[in-house]
Amino acid sequence: QVQLVESGGGLVQPGGSLRLSCAASGRDFEISTMGWYRQAPGKQRELVATIHESKDTNYADRAKGRFTISRDNDENTVSLQMRSLEPEDTAVYYCNAVGVIGPLYARRWFDSWGQGTQVTVSA
């Protein structure tokens, strides 16, 4: 199993900034893609941004120009720098990691999620 632990959520005023972080832990794993998703009350979980181990990134339209995703492959961490936050960004933000786990002769894919961290944008 690969465990993901998020940190950095909280309450921020409109126009403010927050930085979310996520750390992966476990044994015998390699992460291919890490990402951030969010779920607002009454809505489905949606993509915010993903980053491949090659550092190629993908952003949802609403995140482009305001959010920046980054990762440290050696430390198995991913961060999301959020700027110009709007009330519509209020949601629980989840970290996600996809990769392979296990010994070389018995590798399998995994798809892990963190427990989520609340981001509230309000005056």
Contact present, 22 and 117 (Cβ < 8 Å): no
Tell me the percentage of the chain whose pLDDT exceeds 90.
98
Residue 12 has pLDDT above 90, yes or no: yes
Q: Could you tell me the CA-to-CA distances from 1 to 34, 45, 47 in Å, in that order?
A: 15, 22, 23
Residue 104 has pLDDT above 90, yes or no: no
Half-sphere exposure of 97 (CA within 13 A, CB side): 29
* Adjacency order of strands within the sheet including 77-82: 3-7, 18-25, 77-82, 67-72
Cα 28 from Cα 118, distance rounded (Å): 30
Residue-wise pLDDT tens digits, 67-85 = 999 999 999 999 999 999 9
Residue-wise pLDDT tens digits, 35-49 = 999 999 999 999 999
